[in-house]
Structure 1
Amino acid sequence: MNSTIQHHNVIIVGGGQAGLSMSYYLQQSQVDHLVLEKKTLMHSWRNARWDTFCLVTPNWQCALPGYPYQGNDPHGFMVKHEILEYLDGFARHVNAPVLEGVSVLRVAVRAEGGYSVSTSRGEFTADQVVVASGGYHQPIVPRMAERLPASITQVHSEQYKNPRSLPEGAVLVVGSGQSGAQIAEDLHLAGRKVYLATGDAPRCARFYRGKDVVDWLADMNYYEMPVEQHPLKEGVRDNTNHYVTGRDGGRDIDLRKFATQGMELFGRLHDYADGNLQFAPDLAANLEHGDTIYNGINASIDKYIAKMGIDAPAGGVYEPLWQVTEERTALDPVAAGITSIVWCIGFTPDFSWCDVPVFNGRGYPGHVRGVTKQPGLYFLGLPWLHTWGSGRFSGVARDAAFLAEQIAVRVAACAAGDGGAMRAAA
C-alpha cells in the first residue's frame, strides 16, 4: 500500500457516544480501527446545548458500554456540566484511537474492495466503515426567515444559550417539540414575554401513579421493542420527541398552563407576508393531540398496573387547564415587541460525503439494525436505529455490540482468505 495512505480494518466516522461505543467493542474484539472526529470528542454535547439543559430521562438510563451511571441519584436528571463529566469519563474509559479535527470529505467504495476515505488530513482506506456521526447535521431554518425585519435577531436552537444572550424584548419560539418547549419554558421562567408557535409534538407525564413514566415504560418492556414491531414500523423514525423536562427534579411541561401565565400560543407558523407572521388555525388541534398522547400513555400504564396487580396510587385523566377561545392567524412581530426568534424546528441529515448508494430519496440510509446492503458499511447512533434507545445513552451500547459482531465476522473472513469478504488492497 502507498506509504502516504493509512489503512485500517475499520474506520469510525464520528467521536460522540456512538463512535466511542463502537470503539469500545472493537477493542474488546481486538479489531484494528480508527475514529475520525470532525471537531473534538463529544463536541455536540459540549457546544450545542443551552445552559440549563438537562436530561429528560432518568440518570439510570445512562448505560454506555462499560460505563453505567454510578452517581447517587439514579432517578434524578443530570444537568449540563454533569452530563459532560459523565461523557468525559466515558471517553477516558474507552481511550479510543482517535484523530480529532479531521473532516471526512468523501467515503467511496474501492474497485479493489473496501473503502477509500478522503479527509482534511489526507487519504485513508478501510475494509469496513461505521458512520456514527448522528442524524442532526443541518439546522432547519425556513426561507421566510430571509424576509423578516432586520431588527429581529434570529438563532437556531443549537445556538441558544440563555435568556441573557438574546436582546431585551419579547421572544418568538418556533416549534413545540422537546427543544422548543424547554427553551420556551427557560425564557418564560426568566420573566421574558414569550410567543410560541406550536406544532403537533406529543407530550407525556413526568410522573404517574407513583413513578417516573420512563420507569413504568421500562417495566412494560417498551424500550425493548425493535422498530419492526412498532405499530408505525420505520415511520416512527420521523416522530417528534415527546416534550417533558427533568429540570428541577423533573416535571410535566404543560403549554396550557403557560398560557394562563401570560405566554401567548399560536398554531404552526407557515409564512411571513405584509408585515405579519402567519399561522395555521391549528392551535387547538395541536394541544388536543398532545393531551391525547399524554392520556394514552397513562392509560397504557393503567392497564399494565391492573394486569400485574400492582399496588400503586390512583391514576386519572388530564383535564385541560386552559382552552383556545380564538385561533389567531396573524401577528405583527414589530408591534408585538418581538426582538428575537428561536427556531426550534429540528435538523436534517447530511450524508452527502458518503458516496455509497444506500440512501433513500430523503437522504436517509437504508439499513436493518445499522447494517446496509453495501457490505462493510454500517450506521450507528440514529434515532430508532433498532429500538427507542438507539440514539440515546440507554440503547447505543446494544447496537454497537451487535455491529461489532458483524464486523468481527467479516474481519475473520478476510483473515481466512474468504473470496466473498471485502478486503482493501494493501
Structure 2
Amino acid sequence: MSYHLTHKEIDHVVLERNQIGHSWRNQRWDSFCLVTPNWQCNLPGFPYAGPEPKGFMKKADIVAYLEAFVASFQPPVFEGVAVKQLRKLSDGLFEIQSTHGTLTAKQVVVAVGGYHKPRIPRVSEKVPAHIRQIHSSEYRNPAQFSEGNILVIGSGQSGCQIAEDFHLAGRHVHLSVGSAPRVARRYRGRDVVEWLADMGHYDMPVELHPQKEAVRAKANHYVTGRDGGRDIDLRVRAKEGMQLHGRLINCVDGVMHFADDLTKNLDNADQSSENIKNIIDGFIAENGISAPNEARYVPVWTPEDGGSCIDLIAENITGIVWSVGFESSFDWIDLPIFNGKGYPNHYRGVSREPGVYFLGLPWLHTWGSGRFSGIARDSEFLLAQIEQQLQAVLEGVN
C-alpha cells in the first residue's frame, strides 16, 4: 500500500508494531520455505527476479526479498509503534492512539493480516505439567525439545510440515490428523500451481467461489516446497514410523483421546487432491494441451479402524506442538464495521466506514489475496478508492 501511496505522492505513514517482516523473521521455523513457487512473488513494482523462478524461497531468502522491496522505495515506516485504538472523531477524522502518541488521519488502511492470536485449546490445560507445549508460531527446530517423542496437533500446512521436520530429524512423531485437504505438488508435467494459475483459480473473486465467503475459514491444502517441492503424503510417513491419529477429542488423566475419523480424514484429503487433478485433466482436454499422462495416486497405507489414545507419560511424549491456527482480533478498532463474529465487513477491503480499508486478509478478494501473488492488485484497487475519497474531500472544500 505504501508503495502505491509513495509513487502517487500521497502523504502517509506506516506504523509497524515490531519490524518489517517480523512474522517471517520470528514466527517461522528454521527449515520454513514457501509453498507457492517463487514466480508467484509479485509485490508491486518488485517481481521475483532471482535464479529459481520455479523454486521455493527459504526463510532467509523471503526476508531478503522483503528487505530489497522496502529499500527500492524507502517507505515512511515507524517501527516499534503499536496501535492501541482506532476511532472516529466528531470532525470526521480518524484518531489513532499508539504507544508513541496520538495521530489523526483522513483515511486508514488496516494491514495487519488475519492471524493475530495463537489458538491453543483449553484441553492443553489437562496435559501433565512436565510436557513442554508450544504453538506452531513458536516452533523453530527439533532441538527445542528434550529427547523423547513428539505430538503435533493439527494437519494443516504448518502441522504437516512441522511433523515432517521432526520425522526427518529422526524423532518419533505422533500426528493428530484433522480435516485439512491436500494437493499434489506436480501433475502431468507441471507444478499444480502453474495449472491452477492458467485456469484462473487465483483470480477468482470470492463472490464467485462455490463456498462464497465461507472459504475464508477453510484450511489451505497441505503440500511443501521443501527439497525442491514435493507432496506431503502422510500415508508414506506412517509406513516410515510416524504414528497418525484422528482428531483430538480430550485429555483425561494424562491420556490423549482421538476420534475414529483418521481413515475418513486421510481419504477426504486424498480425494481433494484427486478432484484438483480432475479439473486439470478437463482443462487439458478442453484446450487441446499436450501434456504427459500420469497414473493416479494409489494409497500406500491404510489405518486400522477405531479411535486411538496416547498415554503421554507411557509414550514418553516430551513435547506438544499445537498447530491449530490463529484467531483474529480487531477489538482495538472502535468502529461499527464488523459482523457478529468480529470479522470485518468489507468489499475488496473497502469497509462500511468511508475512509477505512483492510488489506492482506485471506480471500480479501481472491485466493491470491494475502499472498505475495495477489497483494499488488488488492493494494492498487484500494489506491483508487483512496484517491476518490481524497478528491471528494477536495471538491467538498471547494
Q: TM > 0.5 between the two?
A: yes
In the alignment, which residue of structure 2 is the partner of 1:30?
9
1:81-103 residue CA offsets vs partner (Å, 9 max, x unmatched): 11111111011113111111111
- How far apart, CA to CA, are the structure 1 residues paired with 2:167 and 2:211? 35
- How far apart, CA to CA, are the structure 1 residues paired with 2:396 and 2:272? 54
In the alignment, which residue of structure 2 is the partner of 1:228?
207
Q: 2:388 is matched with which residue: 409, 412, 418?
A: 409
Counterparts of residues 12-91 of structure 1 (less than 5 Å): 22-91=1-70
Tell me which amino acid in the other structure corresponds to 1:214.
V
**Do 1:23 and 1:94's aligned partners in 2 also have CA atoms closer than 8 Å?**
no
1:248-300 residue CA offsets vs partner (Å, 9 max, x unmatched): 10000000111100000000112111331011111111101100100000110
In the alignment, which residue of structure 1 is the partner of 2:305?
326
Which stretches in structure 2 are left out of the alignment for 5+ residues? none
In the alignment, which residue of structure 2 is the partner of 1:188?
167
Matched, 1:198 2:174: no
- How far apart, CA to CA, are the structure 2 residues paired with 1:418 and 1:62? 41
In the alignment, which residue of structure 2 is the partner of 1:14?
none
Q: 1:215 is matched with which residue: 182, 190, 194?
A: 194
Offset at residue 416 of structure 1 (A): 2.3
Counterparts of residues 230-249 of structure 1 (less than 5 Å): 230-249=209-228
- How far apart, CA to CA, are the structure 1 residues paired with 2:208 and 2:308? 40
SS at match of 2:369: helix
Matched, 1:271 2:250: yes
Q: 1:374 is matched with which residue: 338, 349, 353?
A: 353
- How far apart, CA to CA, are the structure 1 residues paired with 2:242 and 2:397? 65
| Deviating 4+ runs (over 4 angstroms) | none
- How far apart, CA to CA, are the structure 2 residues paired with 1:294 and 1:150? 39
Tell me which amino acid in the other structure corresponds to 1:253.
I
- Using structure 2 for the length normalisation, give the TM-score: 0.98
Matched, 1:389 2:364: no
1:213-264 residue CA offsets vs partner (Å, 9 max, x unmatched): 0001111111110101100010110110100000010000000111100000
Matched, 1:287 2:287: no
Offset at residue 363 of structure 1 (A): 1.6
In the alignment, which residue of structure 2 is the partner of 1:422?
none
In the alignment, which residue of structure 2 is the partner of 1:135?
114
Tell me which amino acid in the other structure corresponds to 1:410.
Q
SS at match of 2:95: strand
* Greater Cα shift, 356-365 or 243-252: 356-365
SS at match of 1:417: helix
SS at match of 1:416: helix
SS at match of 1:391: coil
**Do 2:152 and 2:174's aligned partners in 1 also have CA atoms closer than 8 Å?**
yes
- How far apart, CA to CA, are the structure 2 residues paired with 1:41 and 1:275? 41
**Do 1:193 and 1:262's aligned partners in 2 also have CA atoms closer than 8 Å?**
yes
**Do 2:136 and 2:322's aligned partners in 1 also have CA atoms closer than 8 Å?**
yes
- Using structure 1 for the length normalisation, give the TM-score: 0.92
Q: 1:253 is matched with which residue: 213, 223, 232?
A: 232
Aligned length: 398
Q: CA RMSD in A?
A: 1.0
Counterparts of residues 290-369 of structure 1 (less than 5 Å): 290-369=269-348
SS at match of 1:41: coil
1:345-389 residue CA offsets vs partner (Å, 9 max, x unmatched): 000011110111111122210100000111101000000000011
Tell me which amino acid in the other structure corresponds to 1:407.
I
SS at match of 1:397: helix
**Do 2:126 and 2:254's aligned partners in 1 also have CA atoms closer than 8 Å?**
no
SS at match of 1:404: helix
**Do 2:28 and 2:137's aligned partners in 1 also have CA atoms closer than 8 Å?**
yes
Matched, 1:97 2:76: yes
- How far apart, CA to CA, are the structure 1 residues paired with 2:149 and 2:73? 45
Offset at residue 418 of structure 1 (A): 5.5
- How far apart, CA to CA, are the structure 2 residues paired with 1:198 and 1:244? 14
Offset at residue 147 of structure 1 (A): 1.7
SS at match of 1:253: coil
- How far apart, CA to CA, are the structure 1 residues paired with 2:361 and 2:324? 18
* Greater Cα shift, 246-255 or 94-103: 94-103
Counterparts of residues 96-175 of structure 1 (less than 5 Å): 96-175=75-154
SS at match of 1:382: coil
- How far apart, CA to CA, are the structure 1 residues paired with 2:20 and 2:287? 44
**Do 2:361 and 2:369's aligned partners in 1 also have CA atoms closer than 8 Å?**
yes
**Do 1:302 and 1:315's aligned partners in 2 also have CA atoms closer than 8 Å?**
no
Tell me which amino acid in the other structure corresponds to 2:307.
R
The percentage of counterpart residues that share the same residue type is: 55
Offset at residue 328 of structure 1 (A): 3.1
- How far apart, CA to CA, are the structure 1 residues paired with 2:73 and 2:89? 30
- How far apart, CA to CA, are the structure 2 residues paired with 1:389 and 1:222? 9
- How far apart, CA to CA, are the structure 2 residues paired with 1:350 and 1:94? 31
In the alignment, which residue of structure 1 is the partner of 2:157?
178
- How far apart, CA to CA, are the structure 1 residues paired with 2:44 and 2:380? 9
**Do 2:148 and 2:317's aligned partners in 1 also have CA atoms closer than 8 Å?**
yes
Tell me which amino acid in the other structure corresponds to 1:243.
Y
